[in-house]
Every structure is written in C-alpha cells, then in structure tokens.
C-alpha cells in the first residue's frame, strides 16, 4: 500500500500542484486527503471532461501540469477533451491522469465495470497516452510520479497512472460537512415507491439509489419488474426515463436521480425540460455528496436545482415534473446489491413495458 500523503508530496515535488477530478471508490483515500489538505489547489469537477478542461486552463495560466483523477468509467467523458484539446496534435497540454482501475481483469467487481476494466489500458494505447500501473510501495510510486510527470513535461502531453484496487492505505475524510437534511435517503425512497400510481415505472440512477430501490422492494415484499436499475452511465438515468416516456406517453415514468449524477450531465435537464413529456417525473435525492465513493462534497447544497429545472421548462402545463428532495448523507452498512444480473433486470422490465 501507499500513503495518500506521501503520494501528494511526490506529485508536488514533481511540479504537479493542482488537483481536480471526480471521486472514485478506489481513489477514496487520495480524494479524501486532497479534499482535506489542498484547499484552493483542489476542485471536485462535475465530470471528467470538465476536469481535463480545468487542468488545461491551469497549465495555460501557470505552465505547470495538473493532476486529473477519475474512475476508469470516466475515461469516456474525458476522451473528447483529451483528443481535441490536450493531445500533442492539437494544443499539446501536459497533465497527469490518475485512474482507478475498476473491473481489472481477474479481479471480482460489479457488472458495470467488467467491460471498462478490460479496455482501460488498451484505450490509453489507442489514444496514444503513455500509461503505467502505479506501484504498491511509497518509494516506487514516487519514482513513477517523477518519471511520468517528467514525461508529461518533456513531451507536453497527457500521461496516466492506473491504480489497482487496495493500493492506497486508508485515510478517512475529515471534511464532513453537516447534512443538508435529516431525512434518510432510503426512507425517502420507500415513501416514493409506496405512493406511485398504478402502472408507473421507475428508472433509478447508479450507486446507492438503485441499491436502495432494490432493497426497499425486497422489504416491502414487492417484485422488481417495474424498476430499471441503472448500474452505470452516471448522469444519464433521466435520458433513459425520457426515452421510455416518449415511447409510452400514457405511462407514468419516474426517474430517481442523485445530485452528483444530475450535476455531472446537467444538460440532460434542459432536454428533458423541453420535451413536452408530461408523463415524466424527475426526482433528485440531494444530499450534497458523492455518497457511493467516500462522501466527498458536491455543489448540490449550494445551488438551486429546482430553480435550474424550472428554467429548463419543468413544472409547466404539459411538461415533466421536477422535485428535489433533500436527504441525509450515508447508507446502511449492510446495504445489499441486486441479486440478478443487469440483463435479467432488463428482460423483466421490458416485460412490464410490453
């Protein structure tokens, strides 16, 4: 294992003095450490592409490369700015990517990470981004930082350090901001599910919310045929729900979203709000935290999501309905996961829609 403190020291010694990205469970200790200690030199971005943009701006203003952290699922969000902005064929901007390797081949993980795990290294090869697996001791990790940061500077290009599961020694976030509400999220979900009209279906976002929808149905003795549990594609649950609502205008469709997910792809709210699908209800369960990956803060508690939604066209006659429910951070320690694989969930859900 390596210490987050020693790793950050190595980065700063190599001239990497700004940190931005989207929190990841494999990088939880690193993310917690920079949140606690790096102050104005750290920004939690809305999505990974935005983090690449922040890193580019930092370099343009200072001449120093930044570090961009992400789960490997975020490679997709980052591909466009990495290719069309930072690549040596375009602006040639150096930065260091720190990427959590979920779904590493041979390591058990959740189904949504399997494909991404297989293509993590090949994708960097395709993009022409030099990548190295971060070693598991402090001294070797510091050597890798010096080598890769030096390469980024010398060739003025992005480089990547890939992090395996269990690499970082535990560091717990001290910056525990107070809850923005007292209501437990799981209780809010139970209240919603109990009040759904007959024939309604649910699309729930990735992370804790889908797990809690599943567990709530189990606890209530209800089947899972009305729920599409979105296990990946963070930020796009409302688009899935909109696709269903457009195709079946006589069916009520409810999207249970999270603040981190809705902020990550906020443009989707503009499209949904202007869709004219009055059978769609978009509910954001807002706890102002990236709850599934360590509790790092989002800006959800500081912005007016309901006002943003209404400016996009929600809550007008014939338009989708938007509701924000503020909830407390955290989840049960014994919270389970769906027992059925995603394709079984899809088949069951499509049977309901048919």
Biggest CA–CA distance in the chain, Å, is 63
| pLDDT for res 170 | 96
Range in 12-16, 108-112, 256-260, 313-317 the model is least confident about: 108-112
Question: What are the CA-CA distances from residue 22 to residues 47, 101, 182, 263, 344 (Å)?
Answer: 6, 14, 26, 12, 30
Question: What are the CA-CA distances from residue 125 to residues 120, 249, 283, 300, 338 (Å)?
Answer: 9, 45, 40, 36, 34
**Mean pLDDT, to the nearest integer, of 325-347?**
94
300 is a domain residue: yes
Model confidence band, residue 29 (pLDDT cutoffs 50, 70, 90) = very high
Question: Using one digit for the tens of pLDDT, what is the confidence trace for 300-316?
Answer: 999 999 999 999 999 99
HEC assignment per residue over 5-26: HHHHHHHHHCCCCCEEECCCCC
Quick one: 129 and 215 in the same domain?
A: no
293: pLDDT strictly greater than 80: yes
Sheet holding 95-100, edge to edge: 42-44, 19-21, 66-71, 95-100, 158-163, 131-133
Mean pLDDT for all residues in the chain:
96
- CA 174, chain centre distance (Å): 21
CATH number of the domain to which 270 belongs: 3.40.50.970
Taking the C-alpha atoms of residue 312 and residue 302, their distance in angstroms, rounded to an integer, is 19
Query: Which two tokens mark 261?
Result: 């997910």
**Mean pLDDT, to the nearest integer, of 347-354?**
97
Model confidence band, residue 10 (pLDDT cutoffs 50, 70, 90) = very high
57: pLDDT strictly greater than 80: yes
Query: Which two tokens mark 89?
Result: 């064929």
294: pLDDT strictly greater than 90: no
Which residues sit opposite 284 in a β-bridge? 257, 324
* Structural domain span for residue 112: 4-163
% of the chain residues with pLDDT over 70: 100
Question: Using one digit for the tens of pLDDT, what is the confidence trace for 200-248?
Answer: 999 999 999 999 999 999 999 999 999 999 998 999 999 999 999 999 9
Quick one: 116 and 222 in the same domain?
A: no
| pLDDT for res 176 | 77
| pLDDT for res 344 | 96
Quick one: 131 and 193 in the same domain?
A: no
Number of folded domains in the chain? 2
Helix axes 185-195 and 208-220, enclosed angle (nearest 10): 60
24 closest CA partner among 161, 131, 137? 161
Which residues sit opposite 245 in a β-bridge? none
Question: What are the CA-CA distances from residue 168 to residues 42, 194, 288, 326 (Å)?
Answer: 19, 41, 25, 32
Taking the C-alpha atoms of residue 144 and residue 118, their distance in angstroms, rounded to an integer, is 23
Rounded to two decimals, the pTM is 0.94
Query: Which two tokens mark 6?
Result: 């020693």
Quick one: 152 and 19 in the same domain?
A: yes
| pLDDT for res 270 | 98
Which residues touch 3 (CB under 8 Å, ≥6 apart)? 138, 168, 169, 171
Quick one: 239 and 300 in the same domain?
A: yes
49 is a domain residue: yes
Taking the C-alpha atoms of residue 259 and residue 181, their distance in angstroms, rounded to an integer, is 14
45 is a domain residue: yes
DSSP-derived 3-state class of residue 187: helix
219 is a domain residue: yes
Question: Using one digit for the tens of pLDDT, what is the confidence trace for 153-197?
Answer: 999 999 999 999 999 999 999 977 899 999 999 999 999 999 999
Question: What are the CA-CA distances from residue 243 to residues 20, 236, 269, 271, 282 (Å)?
Answer: 33, 11, 13, 11, 13
**Mean pLDDT, to the nearest integer, of 272-286?**
98
Quick one: 87 and 144 in the same domain?
A: yes
Pairing, β 19-21 against β 66-71: parallel
Q: Is there a contact between 4 and 139 (Cβ–Cβ < 8 Å)?
A: no
Neighbours of 150 (CB within 10 A): 14
Quick one: 60 and 191 in the same domain?
A: no
Question: Using one digit for the tens of pLDDT, what is the confidence trace for 104-113?
Answer: 999 999 889 9
180 is a domain residue: no
DSSP-derived 3-state class of residue 91: coil
Which residues touch 26 (CB under 8 Å, ≥6 apart)? 71, 100, 101, 102, 163, 164, 165, 167, 168
Quick one: 218 and 137 in the same domain?
A: no
Query: Which two tokens mark 66?
Result: 């930044």
Quick one: 204 and 335 in the same domain?
A: yes
């Amino acid at each position: 294992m390596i210490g987050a403190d020693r790793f950050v020291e190595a980065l700063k010694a190599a001239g990497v003095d700004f940190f931005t990205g989207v929190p990841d469970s494999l990088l939880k200790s690193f993310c917690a450490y920079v949140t606690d200690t790096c102050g104005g030199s750290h920004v939690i971005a809305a999505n990974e592409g935005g983090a690449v943009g922040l890193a580019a701006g930092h370099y343009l203003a200072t001449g120093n490369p930044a570090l961009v952290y992400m789960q490997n699922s975020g490679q997709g969000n980052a591909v466009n700015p990495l290719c069309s902005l930072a690549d040596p064929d375009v602006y040639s901007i150096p930065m260091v990517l720190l990427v959590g390797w979920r779904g590493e081949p041979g390591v058990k993980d959740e189904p949504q990470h399997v494909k991404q795990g297989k293509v993590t290294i090949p994708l960097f090869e395709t993009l022409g981004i030099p990548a190295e697996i971060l070693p598991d001791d402090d001294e070797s990790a510091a050597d890798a930082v010096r080598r890769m940061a030096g390469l980024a500077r010398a060739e003025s290009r992005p480089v990547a350090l890939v992090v395996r599961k269990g690499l970082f020694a535990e560091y717990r976030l001290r910056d525990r901001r107070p809850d923005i509400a007292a209501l437990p999220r799981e209780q809010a979900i139970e209240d919603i599910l109990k009040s759904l009209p007959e024939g309604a279906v649910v699309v729930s976002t990735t992370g804790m919310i889908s797990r809690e929808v599943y567990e709530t149905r189990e606890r209530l003795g209800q089947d899972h045929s009305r729920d599409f549990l979105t296990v990946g594609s963070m930020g796009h649950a409302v688009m899935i729900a909109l696709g269903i609502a457009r195709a079946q205008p006589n069916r009520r469709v409810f999207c249970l979203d999270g603040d981190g997910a809705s902020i990550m792809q906020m443009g989707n709210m503009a499209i949904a709000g202007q869709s004219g699908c009055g059978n769609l209800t978009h509910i954001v369960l807002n706890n102002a935290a990236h709850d599934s990956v360590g509790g790092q803060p989002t800006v959800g508690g500081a912005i007016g999501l309901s006002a943003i939604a209404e400016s996009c066209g929600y809550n007008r006659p014939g338009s989708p309905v938007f509701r924000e429910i503020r909830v407390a951070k955290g989840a049960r320690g014994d919270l389970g996961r769906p027992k059925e694989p995603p394709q079984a969930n899809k088949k069951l859900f499509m049977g309901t829609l048919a």
